[in-house]
Structure 1
Amino acid sequence: MTPDAILALYDWEIGACFRCSAADAFVTRIDEIVTPRGERYELSACGICVLGMEEERRHHAERKGFPYVAGELGRR
């Protein structure tokens, strides 16, 4: 699957990347952190970081013998 095809699987908006700290970048929501006090912080990642995390997921799936399906970051 090409990088463009992987990125097309996500919804994008302007924001900050939690992973590389890029500001005013196109990001996609990955997850959220809920503090013990109940505060919620959204985690979003830019395209470069999303591709890196997808590559990590693919390698992990290959090592463990699981099928790899792109586009599932942040989905449960």
Structure 2
Amino acid sequence: MDREELLSHYEWSAGVCFRHPAAGEVATAVIKILYPKDGGREVVRACQDCVIDMEAQRRDAALEGGFSYRPGRVGQDLRRG
């Protein structure tokens, strides 16, 4: 699967990548929503390069662990698909 096809599994909008906050606002996708114990909601966003990197890590982990890999699920548990 090429880069553009992989990125097409996500919705992109301006935001701050959790790995590169100093870069400021860039095209990002929501990869996780956290609900801290003290209340509220924290949206974790990642830039395109980071999503590509995390997809590769997730794919490799799925292959090593015997799980199925489906793109577009960075931030989800591999056991859930």
Q: Common fold, TM-score beyond 0.5?
A: yes
Partner of 2:5: 5
Q: Point out the structure with the larger helix share.
A: 2
- The runs of at least 4 consecutive aligned structure 1 residues that moved more than 3 Å come to none
Asked if the contact 1:10–1:71 (Cα under 8 Å) also holds between the matched residues in 2, the reply is yes
Q: Per-residue CA shift, 1:2-28, capped at 9, x if unaligned?
A: 011000111000010012223210000
* Residue identity opposite 1:4 in structure 2: E
SS of alignment partner, residue 71 of structure 1: coil
Partner of 2:37: 36
Structure 1 residue ranges without an equivalent (≥5): none
Distance 1:74 1:64 in 2: 17
RMSD: 1.5
Partner of 2:55: 54
Structure 2 residue ranges without an equivalent (≥5): none
TM-score by length of 1: 0.88
State, as a whole percentage, how many aligned pairs show the same letter.
36
TM-score by length of 2: 0.83
SS of alignment partner, residue 55 of structure 1: helix
Cα offset for 1:51?
A: 0.4
